């Protein structure tokens, strides 16, 4: 009897992951983790408007406790991997369910954001990799020499290069689309779905997406306009 019970317990996680609802739940949870990081990172970035000392102190604080920093990074890496893995498998499953395309497709029921989720994700991943190589590792130096302890200098020097700022702004617009659809569909995936609540969730997701994108975009725009020097 004990062996049977143990075997059943071992199978449950596999069945959960294999199901469509299980993959959607994983996407919802990992999406929520990444969403919280996006908000926290934005608030940290906005400290650039308080001057070099404030932003550099923030950067020093993040690296002063490497145990916590790497714990957070580990959670984020696992979340990104699971989020991408689940989304790819859902896309493959959707394609297999309808191998022949529509002769005439009506997109009234779906938003532009939802239709761009699968291709905006890889672009955002490419942006994150570039962003880490640029402002974290200092491997890419479009604005000149990378100074490890001077976050303010690195940010301003990098965003003074127009194509770096343009790439950043474009990526943040895609992030807004991603958040706009992902935020409300997250609640839908975990069962919070009601005709009365869905319109409110969609409007709230849109407002959040706009605020977050505006917060991030304000940094390179301010550098390009000379507000932040």
What tens digit of pLDDT does each residue of 201-212 get? 888 888 999 999
Question: Any idea of the CA torsion for 152, 156, 157, 162, to the nearest 10 degrees?
Answer: 160
Handedness of CA 66, 72, 73, 74 (dihedral sign): positive
pTM for this structure? 0.84
pLDDT at 189: 62
- Across the chain, mean pLDDT equals 84
pLDDT at 104: 46
Q: Give every CB contact of residue 94 below 8 A, 6+ residues apart in sequence.
A: none
CA-based diameter of the chain, in Å?
Answer: 73
Q: Give every CB contact of residue 136 below 8 A, 6+ residues apart in sequence.
A: none
> What average pLDDT does this structure show over 208-222?
97
Locate all alpha helices (DSSP H) within the chain, ordered by sequence.
Answer: 2-18, 20-45, 52-64, 66-97, 112-115, 117-135, 151-159, 162-189, 198-224
What tens digit of pLDDT does each residue of 165-195 get? 999 999 999 999 888 887 777 766 656 666 7
**What single DSSP character describes residue 137?**
S
Is 164 or 110 the better-scoring residue by pLDDT?
Answer: 164
229/30 Cα distance (integer angstroms): 36
Q: How confident is the model at residue 108 (pLDDT cuts 50, 70, 90)?
A: very low
What tens digit of pLDDT does each residue of 52-66 get? 999 999 999 988 988
Q: How confident is the model at residue 217 (pLDDT cuts 50, 70, 90)?
A: very high
Q: How confident is the model at residue 109 (pLDDT cuts 50, 70, 90)?
A: very low
pLDDT at 111: 54
pLDDT at 190: 58
CB 24 within 8 A of CB 90: yes
- At the second CATH level, the architecture of 22-98+112-224 is Up-down Bundle (1.20)
Task: Say yes or no to pLDDT of 71 above 80.
Answer: yes
């Amino acid at each position: 009897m004990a062996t049977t019970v143990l075997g059943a317990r071992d199978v449950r996680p596999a069945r959960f992951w294999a199901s469509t609802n299980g993959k959607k739940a994983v996407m919802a949870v990992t999406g929520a983790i990444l969403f919280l990081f996006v908000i926290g990172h934005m608030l940290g970035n906005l400290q650039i408007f308080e001057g070099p000392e404030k932003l550099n102190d923030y950067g020093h604080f993040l690296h002063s406790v490497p145990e916590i920093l790497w714990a957070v990074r580990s959670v984020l890496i696992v979340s990104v991997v699971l989020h991408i893995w689940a989304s790819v498998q859902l896309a493959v499953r959707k394609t297999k369910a309808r191998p022949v395309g529509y002769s005439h497709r009506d997109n009234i029921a779906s938003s532009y954001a939802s239709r761009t989720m699968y291709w905006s994700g890889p672009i955002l991943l490419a942006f994150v990799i570039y962003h880490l190589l640029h402002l974290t590792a200092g491997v890419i130096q479009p604005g000149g020499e990378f100074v490890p302890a001077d976050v303010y200098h690195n940010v301003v020097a990098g965003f003074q290069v127009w194509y770096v700022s343009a790439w950043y702004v474009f990526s943040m617009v895609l992030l807004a689309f991603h958040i706009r659809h992902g935020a409300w569909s997250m609640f839908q995936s975990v069962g919070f779905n009601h005709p009365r609540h869905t319109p409110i969730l969609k409007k709230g997701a849109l407002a959040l997406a706009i605020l977050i994108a505006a917060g991030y975009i304000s940094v390179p725009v301010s550098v390009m306009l000379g507000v932040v020097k």
